[in-house]
Amino acid sequence: MADHCYKLTFRGEIAEGRQMDEVKENLSTLFKMSGEKIEGLFSGRPVTIKRDMDHETACKYWMTLQKAGALCSVEVEKKRTAPKSSPVSEVPQRREEKEALSERRKVKCPNCGHEGEDPVECIRCGIIFSRFQGKSLDGARKTGLPSCSIRIYDSAKEKKQIALLIFLIVLLGCILYYNIYVMGEIKYPPGILIASEPEQVIIEKGKPWRVGERTFVPLARFSLKARVLSTERYRFDPVSDISPIDLALGWGPMSDQSVLNQLEIGQGNRRFFVFPVRCCPPLPWPVIMSHSSNMHMIPANSAIEKSLKSIRRGELIALSGYLVGIREGGQWTWFSSLSRTDTGDGACEILWVNNLARL
């Protein structure tokens, strides 16, 4: 598809269940356009919103407009070939500049014969001309012939450089091995791996407990089996001391490898995002969102924290504990969602993890 790009076309259609005024207001905010210009988008004629995009960019724009309630289509178009630039005539150099450049290129290594511009060191064999035994640099420039084949090394310095180079190569190899083989994603054959739904039992008048200045209030007993869709570590945000990691988890159709191969899933800023690899998602969005969730993990002890931090993308795990709300200074500062179908801010589960097992 290297010879194609994509454009986004809008024909005035809106998503089912959305109001026209609401969609117009969303588009006005999104595009920062006046009401008159927004009305022009709903004339019934095809309007090109954006063109000359790659596939990934087109899908992101499509998702944004979909959330605003506007139904667009992503269409393939041929890439425009850039006009060939007219040949630019070479600007003649001044005579003095040409002579100076020519003089610089006359520096020839007395050891290997390489012709370069550096008057101090040869970039091919690495000798420093001033240390070379035999003819002077001037003689080497005139004859271009080495008078001696002896090189003088600073052995201690070179040993340190070689040791540093070896260390960096080994370190890079270890990092690649860790990321690919130790913490890399686990993949499976197609098929649903976790068929069960999360289990939740609401707690009325649960007994709270304190950790430092925070009070944890249990809202519901919670357990689930899930496939790990993504992991994200947090070290510096206000709650990273109690919740150092988020897990994006999937169950039902969102544990099927054939579905996940068609989605791009990631996390950041205590949220997770899902984009289709192609223009259309493999499942309806309500199904995708009701069978996956970003969960803030609060380990009950150091052993569970260590296990949480070692979880790999693709692993099958079982979790149990409490969905909690957190009070600090007499006010609610964090409150867990109690639904699997909500989206947006406040839709994440805050899970106090008492038990963690790999399946």
Summarize pLDDT for 126-168 with one digit per residue, the tens.
677 666 645 444 444 454 444 444 444 456 777 888 888 888 9
Q: For position 54, what pLDDT does the model report?
A: 84
pLDDT at 137: 43
Across the range 251-270, mean pLDDT stands at 94
Q: Which of 48-52, 58-62, 102-106, 314-318 has the highest mean pLDDT?
A: 314-318
Side-chain-facing half-sphere of 67: CA atoms under 13 Å = 12
Query: Rounded to the nearest 10 degrees, how much is the dihedral formed by the CA atoms of 273, 276, 281, 287?
Result: -20
Averaged pLDDT, 278-297: 93
Q: How confident is the model at residue 267 (pLDDT cuts 50, 70, 90)?
A: very high
Helix (H, G, I), strand (E, B) or coil at 151: coil
**Which tokens belong to 176?**
């690649």
Report residue 171 as tokens: 């370190």
CA 210 to chain centre: 36
Query: Is the Cβ–Cβ distance between 206 and 313 less than 8 Å?
Result: no
**CATH code reported for the domain at 4-78:** 3.30.1390.10
Choice among 39-53, 249-263, 337-351 with the minimum mean pLDDT: 39-53
Strands 316-328 and 349-358: antiparallel
Radius of gyration (C-alpha) of the chain in whole angstroms:
32
132's CB contacts (< 8 A; 6+ apart) are 110, 111, 140, 148, 150, 151, 152
Whether residue 8 has pLDDT greater than 80: yes
For the stretch 114-136, what's the b/e string if a residue is b when 16 or more beta carbons lie within 10 angstroms of its beta carbon? eeeeeeeebeeeebebeebeebe
**Among the ranges given (130-139, 154-163, 247-256, 291-300), the one the predictor scored with the smallest mean pLDDT:** 130-139
pTM exceeds 0.75, yes or no: no
Q: What is the pLDDT of residue 270?
A: 93
